[in-house]
Amino acid sequence: MSEETKALTLNPQLEAFQEKLLAQYDKENLSAKEGQTLFVGSSLMEIFPIEKWEEEGKVRFSKYIYNRAVRATTTAFLLKHLESQIINLEPSKIFINIGTNDIGFEVPEAEFMSNYNEILTQIGEKLPQAQVYVMRYYPINTLDFGQDSDEKTLFETRSNEKFQKASDKIEKLAQKHHFHFIDVNDGLSDKDGNLKKELTFDGAHLNPAGYSIVLENLKVYLEE
């Protein structure tokens, strides 16, 4: 078990936050409009400020984008809470970025991939009309970050090589289910393949400038 996993497992505040956020999503789902677009996953999606930008009028698409991601979660968590995070919204488009925590928390690959496969299976069965876009993992930066104890813990079990190898396997899963697999990372990496320092606040998560680039790359899928 990685140090990151131990730290999170022993953090009751995190679990309370997750439960509170899920309860908020359940409440908001009651008044949400069906047939819209959904972003779902872990913190890489949760901190994507898409709804904030929509409310401020900075971005606007033909369909509203709901964000139902939850930080520090794995494929097992999403599978368990599929109704709250995906199904109950009955979206027409679903963008998924989940699984980097499975890698970081050292979930066995077979379990991780089995969970992801089951997520895609259930979406296909329960929302057969939805267009599903499975996302390649973003690059990270372990060179300019990772000096303090928190960041060392974060990068202990994470690397660009691990993320991209896993992404290649997830691409095959998406193809198996006849879903889209998309790479919206253009412009995020430096010449060495690391996440650009100016686009992240900790080396693993994007800042608003990074998400602006991702959103620009997503537009072709959001508007098709």
Cα distances from 188 to residues 70, 112, 140, in angstroms, run: 23, 26, 9
pLDDT at site 146: 66
What pLDDT is attached to residue 148?
63
Positions of the chain with pLDDT lower than 70, given as ranges: 1-11, 146-153
Distance CA 214, CA 222 (A): 12
Q: What is the pLDDT of residue 156?
A: 85
The pLDDT, as a whole number, for residue 127 is: 98
**pLDDT given at position 109:** 97
Q: Which two tokens stand for residue 57?
A: 């009028």
Please say whether the beta carbons of 172 and 178 come within 8 A. Answer: no
Note the pLDDT tens digit of each residue in 64-106: 999 999 999 999 999 999 999 999 999 999 999 999 999 999 9
In the DSSP assignment, the letter for residue 91 is: -
What is the model's pLDDT at position 144? 85
- Alpha-carbon gap, residue 84 to 101, rounded angstroms: 20
Provide the token pair at 168.
């290649």
| Predicted pLDDT at 5 | 47
Structure confidence at residue 155 (pLDDT): 85
pLDDT at 91: 98
